[in-house]
């Protein structure tokens, strides 16, 4: 029993300390004004008139009644907004001579009273919009004119075709100009309306949106940026034979996502541009000449200079081997009674097949050594010409032009790919010019 009495006393002590409960009980608030010893009707009348003047100038207090007794303001009635109900104390407390404010104004729940202010605000905003129509019209037309001028400038051909290395970069420049035209038109529109500060908010929202989209399509954006860099740097061109990360083939297309190679077997290899940009690229066609090499081992050559000259003459006699740069043969190693020579020759890769020309040069060199009576050693196997054996008939040798020409089927496929208007190709302009 003593414990219950103690709890009851504690609850009674804590209840008055709650501001919300105290306000709901009596709605009384004290001001910081000093309390005078005397207060007359004239002071109360002056406070009453001043308070009524203030409430008349503020919307929402039409149903509020004011009474003043001995410097205490009593407010009764109703208002449609809770904020206006709380603001009454702050208004009344600032009047000189007010000792306390008793706020008994309630928030009205009447539908008509709550809808009327909303309708009034909506009507005033519509009237303000109607009055601002001339300014809106001028601002809108000016913004549209700026945007239209930017789009017309972006649609021109000569400035972008002269600046951009290909159609893809020209289109990128056009898109940037269109975006700048839209932003410029919007800035002029807001500046005429006097809301230029809103532009910062719009740009911030666009930045956040772009960041979110960038994370969502990170791979696509990475490949697109890589395609832009590849278009600008141009490490390879259409028809060139290149190697990317171990994949070899002829370049047929560069899209906004991938680089398309055509292998010697006629297969398509799609490599993402991000991978291409970060990988080692070997371009076998960029230089107008390409060198092939092969090794030949001659057992017991005797006069090694003579054997070297035979091989060198064979390379010189091959019509597909270029004289400038000159072919070369050098002694690479002597071991186990055999001399290993390295033969090198240069070809024009635009007219001859590299592997076929290398094989043909190897065949011609072997034939020359055999006609001279020199033996060959390969992988431990020694091949020698028997004495008195007839030399191979040069008439039976397949002509070099037939053996080393570029594969006509591959060339035809490449040309069909490059001139197909339905396929995306960022090298379209360069291909057309070539």
Does residue 56 or residue 9 have the better pLDDT? Answer: 56
Looking at the structure, tell me whether residues 157 and 304 fall in a common domain.
Answer: no
Q: How far is CA 281 from the centre of its chain?
A: 24
- Tell me the CA distances in angstroms from 422 to 14, 263, 417, 425, one per residue in order: 83, 21, 10, 9
> Structural domain tally of the chain?
4
Q: Could you tell me if residue 47 is inside a domain? A: yes
pLDDT at 39: 65
pLDDT of 275 above 80 = yes
Model confidence pLDDT, tens digit, residues 5-42: 544 445 544 444 333 333 443 466 766 666 665 666 77
Average pLDDT, the chain: 78
Looking at the structure, tell me whether residues 64 and 210 fall in a common domain.
Answer: no
pLDDT at 397: 40
pLDDT at 35: 66
Looking at the structure, tell me whether residues 297 and 386 fall in a common domain.
Answer: yes
pLDDT at 431: 47
Looking at the structure, tell me whether residues 387 and 307 fall in a common domain.
Answer: yes
Looking at the structure, tell me whether residues 261 and 304 fall in a common domain.
Answer: no
Looking at the structure, tell me whether residues 157 and 170 fall in a common domain.
Answer: yes
Looking at the structure, tell me whether residues 97 and 80 fall in a common domain.
Answer: yes
Mean pLDDT for the stretch of residues 40-57: 84
pLDDT at 313: 92
- Contact at 8 Å (CB) between 311 and 364? no
Q: What is the pTM of this model?
A: 0.52
Token pair of 13 as six digits: 């002590």
CATH number, domain containing residue 28: 3.30.1340.30
Looking at the structure, tell me whether residues 252 and 199 fall in a common domain.
Answer: no
Distance of alpha carbon 395 from alpha carbon 422, whole angstroms: 49
Token pair of 366 as six digits: 């072997």
Model confidence pLDDT, tens digit, residues 120-174: 778 888 888 888 788 888 888 998 999 999 999 988 888 777 777 666 677 778 8
Q: Could you tell me if residue 211 is inside a domain? A: yes
Model confidence pLDDT, tens digit, residues 90-119: 888 888 888 888 888 888 777 776 777 777
pLDDT at 174: 85
Q: Could you tell me if residue 357 is inside a domain? A: yes
Does residue 23 or residue 347 have the better pLDDT? Answer: 347
Residue 394 — very low, low, confident or very high, per pLDDT cuts 50/70/90? very low
Residue 271 — very low, low, confident or very high, per pLDDT cuts 50/70/90? very high
Does residue 426 or residue 50 have the better pLDDT? Answer: 50
Q: Could you tell me if residue 221 is inside a domain? A: no
CATH number, domain containing residue 379: 3.30.70.100
- Range in 34-48, 57-71, 258-272, 343-357 the model is least confident about: 34-48
Looking at the structure, tell me whether residues 184 and 325 fall in a common domain.
Answer: no
Looking at the structure, tell me whether residues 393 and 318 fall in a common domain.
Answer: yes
Q: Could you tell me if residue 343 is inside a domain? A: yes
Domain housing 278: 226-286+413-433
Q: Could you tell me if residue 404 is inside a domain? A: no
Model confidence pLDDT, tens digit, residues 59-85: 878 888 888 888 888 898 888 888 888
pLDDT of 402 above 60 = no
Model confidence pLDDT, tens digit, residues 332-342: 888 877 888 99
Looking at the structure, tell me whether residues 209 and 237 fall in a common domain.
Answer: no
Which residue pairs, CB below 8 angstroms and at least 24 apart, start in 23-29? Answer: 26/102, 27/102, 27/103, 27/104, 28/100, 28/101, 28/102, 28/103, 29/89, 29/93, 29/100, 29/101, 29/102, 29/103
pLDDT of 317 above 70 = yes
Does residue 8 or residue 344 have the better pLDDT? Answer: 344
Looking at the structure, tell me whether residues 392 and 358 fall in a common domain.
Answer: yes
pLDDT of 381 above 70 = no
Q: Could you tell me if residue 298 is inside a domain? A: yes
Q: Could you tell me if residue 256 is inside a domain? A: yes
CATH number, domain containing residue 271: 2.30.30.60
């Amino acid at each position: 029993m003593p414990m219950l009495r103690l709890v009851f006393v504690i609850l009674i002590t804590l209840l008055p300390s709650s501001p919300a409960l105290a306000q709901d009980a009596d709605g009384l608030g004290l001001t910081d004004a000093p309390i005078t010893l005397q207060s007359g009707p004239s002071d109360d009348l002056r406070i009453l008139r001043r308070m009524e003047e203030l409430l008349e100038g503020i919307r929402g207090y039409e149903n509020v009644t004011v009474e003043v007794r001995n410097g205490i303001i009593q407010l009764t009635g109703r208002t449609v907004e809770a904020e206006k109900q709380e603001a009454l104390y702050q208004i009344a407390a600032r009047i000189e001579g007010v000792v306390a404010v008793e706020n008994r104004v309630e928030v009205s729940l009447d539908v008509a009273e709550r809808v009327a202010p909303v309708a009034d605000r909506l009507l005033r905003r519509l009237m303000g919009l109607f009055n601002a129509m001339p300014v809106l019209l001028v601002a809108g037309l000016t913004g549209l004119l700026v945007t239209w001028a930017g789009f017309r400038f972006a649609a021109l051909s000569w400035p972008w075709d002269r600046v951009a290395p290909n159609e893809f970069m020209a289109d990128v420049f056009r898109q940037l100009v269109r975006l700048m035209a839209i932003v410029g038109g919007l800035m002029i529109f807001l500046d005429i309306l006097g809301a230029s500060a809103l532009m910062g908010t719009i740009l911030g929202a666009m930045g956040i949106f772009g960041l979110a989209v960038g994370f969502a399509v990170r791979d696509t954006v990475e490949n697109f940026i890589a395609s832009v860099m590849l278009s600008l740097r141009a490490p390879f061109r259409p028809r060139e034979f290149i190697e990317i990360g171990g994949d070899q083939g002829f370049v047929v297309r560069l899209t906004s996502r991938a680089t398309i190679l055509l292998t010697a077997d006629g297969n398509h290899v799609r490599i993402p541009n991000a991978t291409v940009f970060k990988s080692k690229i070997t371009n076998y066609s960029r230089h107008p000449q390409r060198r092939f090499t092969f090794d030949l081992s001659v057992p017991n050559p005797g006069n090694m200079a003579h054997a070297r000259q035979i091989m060198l003459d064979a390379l010189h006699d091959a019509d597909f081997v270029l004289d400038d740069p000159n072919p070369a043969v050098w002694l690479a190693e002597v071991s186990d009674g055999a001399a290993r020579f390295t033969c090198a020759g240069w070809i024009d890769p635009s007219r001859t097949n590299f592997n076929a020309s290398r094989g043909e040069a190897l065949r011609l060199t072997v034939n020359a050594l055999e006609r001279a009576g020199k033996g060959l050693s390969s992988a431990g196997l020694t091949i020698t010409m028997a004495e008195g054996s007839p030399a191979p008939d040069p008439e039976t040798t397949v002509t070099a032009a037939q053996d080393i020409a570029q594969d006509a089927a591959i060339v035809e496929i490449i040309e069909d790919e490059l001139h197909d208007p339905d396929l995306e190709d960022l090298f379209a302009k360069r291909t057309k010019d070539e």
